[in-house]
A = this chain, B = another copy of it.
Amino acid sequence: MLGLDPDPARLWPSAAESALGATVAAKAADAVERHCCALIDSAGQSCVAIKPQLACFERLGSAGREALQSVVLHARAAGLIVLADGKRGDIDVSAASYCQSLVGSTKTPYGSVDGLGADAFTVNPYLGIDTLDVFADGARAVGAGIFVLVRTSNPGAADLQDLQLADGGTLCERVASIVDRLAGDGELSDVGAVVGATEPGHLARMRELMPRSIFLLPGVGAQGGTVEQLAPAFEPGKAAGLVSASRSIVFASEELGGDPADAAHRAAESLRETAWGLS
């Protein structure tokens, strides 16, 4: 899975130099869009999905949202799944509004307004099961899915997620059990889990608690995780793990040399082969 976290100050030169726009925001958003589309063109064929980081687009205002929309359309035209990474968490009508924004549509007196058109999005469990129910139901109603943050890839993840609970287990294990209940019966579920690749020691336990959930595995590459350690995630089958990499692909030319697009293609292909070999 190709992570898209575009920093307007660090785009591929071909995108930055050809950008057009009447305002600073429009020009920066155009550069971001060109960069992401070029990245999809070069590395997309080695991936099953893109994962745009919503914050990176939101910071460019309405022009950023237009760019995000164009990138989503470009990815879908290339046959890629789109996973909107916004880590949303909110209550009742607000959670439903995020579903409308990311995977659904909004009814208005003037007609319906389409949302982003993503296939799935990431959500935060801190607000409780009633909020996860709204996200899961809202996504399911339009054939989309959610990925719940269970054990994240950052160093501070342990602060809360690894706390021991008085009645046994850790907080992230409790969240894993909640995710498994939401996942329901059947084989792979539309309720997935975010499990960081930086702490592979957690993976086997997480797979035990969530046998039917697709795992989104961030943290490979720049954050220090390696694909070789991720085998437990793939136990239910090839489709059970989505290995996400961003910086190690987009900036591959800094290590591998050559043109950024060629290097991104080679890095993505190498990651694909390694992940496929595990499963």
Q: Which residues of A contact B (CB under 8 A)?
A: 5, 7-9, 16, 19, 21, 24-25, 27-28, 31, 53, 55-56, 58-63, 65-66, 69, 87-95, 97-98, 100-101, 106-116, 124-131, 149, 152-161, 163-167, 171, 174-175, 178
Q: How far does the Cβ of A148 sit from chain B's closest Cβ, in whole Å?
A: 10
A98 to B78, CA, bound (A): 29
Contact between chains at B152 and A127 (CB < 8 Å): yes
A166 to B186, CA, bound (A): 34
Other than A8-B106, A160-B174, give 8 A-B pairs with Cβ distance below 8 A: A16-B109, A25-B113, A61-B113, A89-B126, A128-B155, A128-B158, A129-B159, A130-B159
Q: How far does the Cβ of A134 sit from chain B's closest Cβ, in whole Å?
A: 10
Tell me which residues across on chain B come within 8 A of A127, comparing CB atoms.
87, 124, 149, 152, 154, 156-157
Tell me which residues across on chain B come within 8 A of A126, comparing CB atoms.
89, 124-126, 149, 152, 160-161
Q: How far does the Cβ of A110 sit from chain B's closest Cβ, in whole Å?
A: 5
Q: How far does the Cβ of A172 sit from chain B's closest Cβ, in whole Å?
A: 9
A96 to B8, CA, bound (A): 14
Cβ contact of A108, chosen from B28, B115, B149, cutoff 8 A? B28
